[in-house]
């Protein structure tokens, strides 16, 4: 569901994602957005918590940099990075996380169901693996309409064990649909290591369906962009689906609740090793001296404005709790339990 246009600053900044500077700025925007959201969870302003994307930014930015305006994406429970990289305004996404009426979806989707169809964002998704069939449906509808649109499904290593995702691989391959499957292998599904739960490996799953698959360094924005661009080009010219496995890592816990629990499934050394591969300094190293600091300052300003906009946005009226649940013209039957 998309709301009418509302005030709010636009997401990607003047450069979009076409230049190394634009991509660095987006990495910083996602990182800063997540840090701000973590603060707002701690202060109780965001109810229920979030799944932070910190550490994985290069995947969202690299893939979205390879897309054209007409392409579409589906996302996951850890979706803020995808939604921002595809161009959603950070102030409206933040208002969405806060459940406010100025949110991307009037505050009714929240962190795990933010969407903006006008930007081709078919939605974050709280159901692991569920973005796969939605992307396949979007690709099929583009085919039916004779439109050149690629659909990207982002998903985690945990989704590789969801039957619905395997069914999506099958249909996409059988019908040679323009889909790009992007597996963000961050090593864990909650606390379950991928190494002990994904038989045959991620690219092996794709290979079983005859889908060309590559594995890339998911901490390197440029490597992700190159792999995604190749797959998008092939899909758009009738070559069928592609699969990119991005080896990445989340620096924070699975969910913000994790800090309240005493879980020991990752060693401090493992976390430190991955932190040393942080995608932000790697992207900053491609820029002329001084530019990264300037971009950091402009992102900080944008996020201050986003915080102000989101916190000033109105809380929804409880009397409207059932609004937008049904398509126009379809109402619950008189006497039905609601």
Ligand X SMILES: Cc1ncc(C[n+]2csc(CCOP(=O)(O)OP(=O)(O)O)c2C)c(N)n1
Residue 80 binds ligand X (CB under 6 A): no
Q: Minimum Å distance from CB 164 to ligand X?
A: 8
Residue 159 binds ligand X (CB under 6 A): yes
Residue 186 binds ligand X (CB under 6 A): yes
78 or 86, CB closer to ligand X? 78
Q: Minimum Å distance from CB 117 to ligand X?
A: 23
* Residue number with the smallest Cβ distance to Mg ion: 156
Residue pair 87/10 in contact (Cβ under 8 Å)? The answer is yes
**Of 125, 48, 81, nearest to 251 (Cα)?**
81
Residue 158 binds ligand X (CB under 6 A): yes
Residue 249 binds ligand X (CB under 6 A): no
Q: How many helices (H) and strands (E) does the chain have?
A: 11, 7
Residue 201 binds ligand X (CB under 6 A): no
Residue 156 binds Mg ion (CB under 5 A): yes
Q: Give which of ligand X, Mg ion, none residue 127 binds (C-beta under 5 to 8 Å, depending on kind).
A: ligand X
Q: Mark residues 91-110: x for contact with ligand X by CB under 6 A, - for none.
A: --------------------
Long-range contacts at 36-41 (CB < 8 A, ≥ 24 apart): 36/94, 36/303, 36/306, 36/307, 37/80, 37/94, 37/97, 37/111, 38/252, 38/256, 40/94, 40/97, 40/98, 40/307, 41/256
Residue 157 binds Mg ion (CB under 5 A): yes
**Of 104, 94, 113, nearest to 304 (Cα)?**
94
Residue 245 binds ligand X (CB under 6 A): no
- Report the 3 state secondary structure along 69-89: CCCEEECCCCCHHHHHHCCCC
Can you tell me which of 25, 31, 77, 100 binds ligand X, judged by CB under 6 A? 77
Q: Which stretch binds Mg ion (CB under 5 A): 147-155, 184-192, 262-270, 294-302?
A: 184-192
- Tell me whether residue 262 is exposed, middle or buried, using C-beta atoms within 10 angstroms of its C-beta: 0 to 12, 13 to 18, 19 or more: exposed
Q: Give which of ligand X, Mg ion, none residue 22 binds (C-beta under 5 to 8 Å, depending on kind).
A: none
- Tell me whether residue 272 is exposed, middle or buried, using C-beta atoms within 10 angstroms of its C-beta: 0 to 12, 13 to 18, 19 or more: exposed
Q: Which stretch binds ligand X (CB under 6 A): 19-27, 184-192, 225-233, 285-293?
A: 184-192
Token pair for residue 112?
């795990």
Q: Between residue 263 and residue 292, which ones bind ligand X under the rule CB under 6 A?
A: none
Q: Minimum Å distance from CB 157 to Mg ion?
A: 4
Residue 81 binds Mg ion (CB under 5 A): no
Contacts of 309 (CB under 8 A, 6+ apart): 7, 8, 9, 91, 92, 94, 95, 102
Q: Rounded CA gap, 60 and 53, in Å?
A: 10
Q: How many CB atoms lie within 10 A of CB 198?
A: 19
Q: Minimum Å distance from CB 306 to ligand X?
A: 23
Residue 188 binds ligand X (CB under 6 A): yes
Can you tell me which of 23, 254, 282, 307 binds ligand X, judged by CB under 6 A? 254
Q: Minimum Å distance from CB 338 to ligand X?
A: 25
Q: Which stretch binds ligand X (CB under 6 A): 33-41, 59-67, 131-139, 185-193?
A: 185-193
Give the footprint of ligand X on this chain (CB under 6 A): 77-78, 126-128, 156-159, 186, 188-190, 254
Give the footprint of Mg ion on this chain (CB under 5 A): 156-157, 186, 189
């Amino acid at each position: 569901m998309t709301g009418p246009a509302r005030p709010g600053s636009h997401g990607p900044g003047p450069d979009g994602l076409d230049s190394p500077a634009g991509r660095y700025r987006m990495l910083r925007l996602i990182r800063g957005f997540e840090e701000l959201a973590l603060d707002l969870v701690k202060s109780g302003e965001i109810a229920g918590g979030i799944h932070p994307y910190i550490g994985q930014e290069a995947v969202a930015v690299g893939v979205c940099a390879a897309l054209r305006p007409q392409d579409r994406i589906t996302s996951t429970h850890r979706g803020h990075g995808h939604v921002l990289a595809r161009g959603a305004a950070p102030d409206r996404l933040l208002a969405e996380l806060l459940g406010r009426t100025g949110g991307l979806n009037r505050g009714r989707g929240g962190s795990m169901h933010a969407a903006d169809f006008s930007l081709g964002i078919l939605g974050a998704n709280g159901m692991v693996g569920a973005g796969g069939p939605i992307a396949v449906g979007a690709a099929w509808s583009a085919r039916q309409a004779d439109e050149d649109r690629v659909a990207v499904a982002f998903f985690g290593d945990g989704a590789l064990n969801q039957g619905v995702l395997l069914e999506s691989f099958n249909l996409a391959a059988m019908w040679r649909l323009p889909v790009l499957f992007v597996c963000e292998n961050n090593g864990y599904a909650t606390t379950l290591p991928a190494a002990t739960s994904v038989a045959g490996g991620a690219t092996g799953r794709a290979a079983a369906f005859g889908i060309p698959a590559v594995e890339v360094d998911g901490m390197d924005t440029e490597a992700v962009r190159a792999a995604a661009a190749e797959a998008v080009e092939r899909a758009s010219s009738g070559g069928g689906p592609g699969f990119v496995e991005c080896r990445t890592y989340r620096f924070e816990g699975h969910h913000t609740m994790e800090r309240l629990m005493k879980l020991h499934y990752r060693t401090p050394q493992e976390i430190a090793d991955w932190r040393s591969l942080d995608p932000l300094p790697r992207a900053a190293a491609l820029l002329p001296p001084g530019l990264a600091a300037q971009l950091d300052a402009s992102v900080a300003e944008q996020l201050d404005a986003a915080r102000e906009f989101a916190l000033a946005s109105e809380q929804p009226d409880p009397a409207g709790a059932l609004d937008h649940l049904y398509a126009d013209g379809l109402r619950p039957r008189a006497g039905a339990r609601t």
